[in-house]
A and B are shown apart, each in its own frame.
Chain A
Amino acid sequence: MITWRGFLKRFLSDPVAIGSAAVLLVLILMAVFAPLIAPQNPYDLLQLDIMNSDLPPAWRNGGDDQFWLGTDTQGRGVFSTILYGTGISLLIGIGAVLVQGILGITLGLWAGYKGGWVDSFLMRLADIQMSLSTLMIAIIALALFQAAFDANIYADYAIFMLILIIGMAEWPKFARTVRSSVLGEKNKEYVDAARVIGLPARKVMWGHILPNAMTPVLVISTIQVAEAIMTEAALSFLGLGMPTDKPSLGSLIRSGFEFIFSGSWWITLYPAIVLVTLVLALNLLGDWLRDVLNPKLRRGDD
């Protein structure tokens, strides 16, 4: 284990960690304060003017100072839509990881603590689900959801469905991590002590074992947020995620893709840069956390 002081010291001595944390912080602040920063509210139809559509970035010929990254075909400023879109992407990413965490920790604790058939059943299920791949499960689930309901209902619930589906599809990662920590902890003396004084299994699991199994959970959480954001972007790009009037970064790229060939590259390029930057910052931070907190974990063999 590492103390807070040691953690801070290592953080301050690593430029990559500082850089990615700073980038991440800026992106999160931009998303949170989007209504204050954005020159225009892209959801408010009254503020949109079709005359402003398809303008290039401000420094190029025909650009307008009001829209420094240009506008899309509906006259929405690309900078404003990116601010709001980043918020939606982050919200879905973090929300999905919360669902994954709650499900995964509960099932992982249960499997590790109980053992026996509960354990083998849950782990077998986890194996199968992992090999089916999150993206595939999500594509099929959302495709059916979209086919079964009409477009308006779909648009209203898309954000919840994305959080739920990405959350439920990825629980095995957390469950496996927690389970292996539990297996390492459950034969230690403090657990025996807690059991002997007659605490119920629920309290032993959540109150005594879990706090000692949290480090790897924190380590994978960061990378899981990055993956959830990537999955959401892919789904939105396929038209199975956020609708274009409440766009995430993925749906912005989708709506720009149609116009890339008529020369309006800015509608796609800027959201794409923000998406890659966001995911890269999370991945670098996650890798750094893993190296510092848990050198034994390695990406690729989880």
Chain B
Amino acid sequence: MHIVAFLIRRAIQAVIVMFVISLIGFSIQDNLGDPLQEMVGQSVSEAEREILREDLGLNDPFLTQYGRFLGNAVQGDLGTSYFFKRPALEVIMDKFPATFELVLGSVFIFLALSIPGGIYCAINRDKWLAKTIMTASIVGISVPVFLTAILLVWLFGVELQWLPAFGRGDTYELPWGWETGFLTLDGLSHLVLPCIALSSIMLPLFIRLIRAEMMEAMGTDYVRFARAKGLSTARVRYVHAFRNTLLPVVTVGGLMIGTLIAYTILTETVFQWPGMGFLFLEAINRVDTPLIIAYIIVVGLIFVVVNTIVDFVYTLINPMVKLPGAKS
């Protein structure tokens, strides 16, 4: 296994993607709004402004400024939020636990439902329940995530009043400063609706995908061979066939990370969930440039890290380990 070569390749790719993201971040900073205006307001004369501009290095050539931006960014300094008057990275990271727990909860829901659902639909493809699930899944694909969210808020939050529909509720602070909603009853009840809403868009896609892959696997020679060998039906289905549906599931899962992050913005907006996505939209409305940049960079970093991990897992569970670089 050229595992080292693979890791180096992935690291280089990650660096390139982060470089492009940092360039985007910098050009936003360069073109959007005037930092001087934010700092001193109207009451300063043009001559003083020019001196300040020179002091701040705003007249330096592009590359020098970009170098400074990159240097600061690597040290975790992404500027100070105009609105919160605090370091932008700190503001974003305060909201990270809320978004992370929302994603974790919904990933749990859609894995817990789509794997058994997909397998069931593949094995009992002519039963009415399987047909109903398949029909429901195409309807599910056609309902935008924010509509599911609105429907849940209206039904369970307003009409029936079964579950809270806004915010995170009571949170418990873990020793390292992480505010978690998983450990209080109130926090958990606040998680239910947003997590269902966020998982609703992935669920039908994954049920269809797992069903299709499972059906394909059931028809292959190695499954027939395993059966001929006298292995139990359960073992053939859940070990031999299912194992091979994991590959496409991991690939598609990896491709969906960007989409999932985008959907957190929608879900958080409907539920007023105090996470990064909600913060980002507020930052746009306030033209809080440092915060916008910090969000893009943090999300880009999450994206790159998760993608690298997914690729790595993929090579681990792939029985035909084909590492890029080792041409077949």
Contact = CB atoms under 8 A, between A and B. Distances in A.
B6 interface: no
Contacts of A279: 142-144
B75 to A, nearest CB: 24
B259 interface: yes
> Size class of B's contact patch?
35 or more
B287 to A, nearest CB: 5
Contacts of B146: 233-234, 237, 253
B212 A146 contact: no
Interface in A253-277: 253, 257, 260-261, 265, 268, 272, 275-276
A76 to B, nearest CB: 20
B307 A131 contact: yes
Nearest to A138: B262
Interface in B141-189: 141-147, 150, 153-154, 158
A140 B32 CA distance: 13
Given A132-B303, A133-B259, A136-B259, A147 B284 contact: yes
Contacts of A238: 265-266, 269, 281
Given A146-B284, A260-B158, A301-B252, A140 B205 contact: no
A19 to B, nearest CB: 13
Contacts of B262: 133, 135-136, 139, 234
A102 interface: no
Contacts of B289: 147
Interface size class of A (residues with CB under 8 A): 35 or more
Contact of A300 (B205, B266, B307): B205
Interface string A221-240: 00000100010011001111
A237 B266 contact: yes
Nearest to A268: B150
Interface string B120-158: 000000000000000000110111111100100110001
B303 A284 contact: no
Interface in A119-148: 128, 130-133, 135-136, 139-140, 143-144, 146-148
B291 to A, nearest CB: 11
Contacts of B153: 260
Interface in A163-217: none
Contacts of A299: 208
Interface string A264-302: 010010001001100110011001000000000011110
A300 B259 contact: no
Nearest to B16: A128
Nearest to A128: B17
By secondary structure, the A interface counts as helix
Given A128-B17, A130-B255, A135 B212 contact: no
A82 B280 CA distance: 30
Contacts of A260: 150, 153-154, 158
B110 interface: no
Contacts, number: 106
A133 B147 contact: no
A237 B299 CA distance: 21
Contacts of B292: 143-144, 147
B263 interface: yes
Given A132-B303, A260-B154, A300-B205, A147 B32 contact: yes
Given A131-B258, A133-B258, A283-B142, A148 B263 contact: no
B195 interface: no
B67 interface: no
Nearest to B254: A131
A174 B24 CA distance: 26
Nearest to A223: B141
A57 to B, nearest CB: 17
B150 A272 contact: yes
Given A132-B258, A133-B262, A272-B147, A239 B139 contact: no
Contacts of B158: 260-261
Given A131-B257, A234-B146, A237-B266, A283 B138 contact: yes
Contacts of A280: 138-139, 142
Contact of B281 (A131, A239, A298): A239
B91 interface: no
A295 to B, nearest CB: 13
A50 to B, nearest CB: 26
In the A-B complex, the 3 residue pairs with the smallest Cβ-Cβ separation, listed nearest first, are A133-B258, A135-B262, A280-B142
Interface of B: 17, 28, 31-33, 138-139, 141-147, 150, 153-154, 158, 205, 208-209, 212, 248, 252, 254-259, 261-263, 265-266, 269-270, 280-281, 284-285, 287, 289, 292, 296, 299, 303, 307
22 contacts: A132-B258, A132-B303, A143-B280, A144-B32, A144-B292, A147-B32, A147-B289, A147-B292, A230-B142, A238-B269, A238-B281, A239-B281, A253-B147, A253-B150, A272-B147, A275-B144, A276-B144, A276-B147, A279-B143, A283-B138, A287-B138, A300-B248
